[in-house]
């Protein structure tokens, strides 16, 4: 291999220790190149998505930055530490005993009322979600708007780390989505009809056939299936 084909190496610091890694890698891949084995709490490595928030600083820059290790590209001189879990207490509740009511939600998450609309949470979100708008919608009792605004939340916790009101966004948004799905979102009639068919035993014979079908034939059936568009 000629020198022009060799990858350029840069130096990064992981928890204070220096490592040389190829330029252009994500933090995730750079850590693995350096010998770290990420197997706990990381979605693309067997955990759950959103569990690789990383705190880092760049040389000559006073700003403390946060990003996801699977998205953020390493830079020469970067100092970083990966946080596979953001500690926060989850309130206990029975969803069947709750209603999509702002007052009830605030009783479980009183810190939401401390929101000062600084928009730091939105600026920190690696998904580009309007986090503050969702929080304000909750305060207005607009659960549907809040649920749809944060539908793509991956629960990384970066917004909570930056929030001066110390809102537990991960658990708050999880509750909002549950309330929306249980009490507000229109029921899918075709799903209810299919469940009734399953309970009646309509597909029992076909399922029994599949259970004794050789694996190779199942793969063939799957690859040749008709996909609805």
- The whole-angstrom separation of Cα 115 and Cα 9 is 44
In order of 8, 122, 123, 138, the CA distances from 134 in angstroms are 43, 10, 13, 6
pLDDT digits (tens, 9 = 90+) for 120-163: 999 999 889 999 999 999 999 999 999 999 998 988 889 998 89
Domains of the chain as residue ranges with CATH:
8-82 (3.10.20.30), 95-184 (1.10.1060.10)
Report whether 126 contacts 38 (CB < 8 A): no
CA dihedral 12, 55, 88, 47 (to 10 degrees): -50
- Reading the chain (229 residues) residue by residue, the pLDDT tens digits are 455 677 899 999 999 999 999 999 999 999 999 998 877 666 676 555 777 888 999 999 998 898 888 889 999 999 999 887 788 899 999 999 999 999 999 999 999 999 999 999 999 998 899 999 999 999 999 999 999 999 989 888 899 988 999 999 999 999 999 999 999 999 888 988 999 999 999 999 999 999 999 999 999 988 988 877 6
The torsion angles phi and psi of 176, rounded to 5 degrees, stand at -60, -45
Q: What ranges make up the beta strands (E) of the chain?
A: 9-14, 17-22, 53-57, 65-68, 79-82
Cβ–Cβ < 8 Å for 55, 44: no
């Amino acid at each position: 291999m000629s020198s022009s084909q060799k990858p350029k190496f840069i130096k990064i610091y992981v928890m204070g220790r220096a490592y040389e890694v190829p330029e252009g890698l994500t933090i995730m891949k750079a850590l693995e190149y350096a010998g770290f084995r990420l197997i706990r709490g990381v979605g693309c490595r067997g955990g759950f998505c959103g569990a690789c928030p990383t705190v880092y600083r760049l040389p000559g820059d006073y700003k403390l930055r946060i990003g996801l290790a699977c998205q953020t590209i390493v830079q020469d001189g970067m100092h970083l530490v990966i946080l596979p879990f953001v500690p926060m207490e989850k309130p206990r509740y029975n969803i069947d005993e709750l209603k999509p009511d702002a007052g009830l939600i605030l009783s479980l998450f009183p810190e939401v009322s401390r929101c000062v609309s600084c928009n730091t949470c939105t600026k920190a979100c690696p998904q580009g979600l309007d986090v503050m708008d969702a929080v304000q919608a909750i305060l207005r009792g607009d659960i549907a708007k809040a649920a749809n605004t944060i539908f793509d939340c991956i629960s990384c916790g970066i917004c909570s780390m930056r929030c001066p009101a110390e809102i537990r966004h991960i658990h708050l948004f999880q509750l909002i989505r549950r309330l929306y799905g249980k009490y507000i979102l229109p029921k899918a009639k075709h799903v209810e009809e299919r469940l009734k068919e399953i309970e009646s035993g309509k597909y029992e014979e076909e399922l029994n056939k599949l259970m004794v079908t050789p694996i190779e034939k199942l793969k063939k059936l799957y690859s040749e299936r008709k996909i609805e568009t």
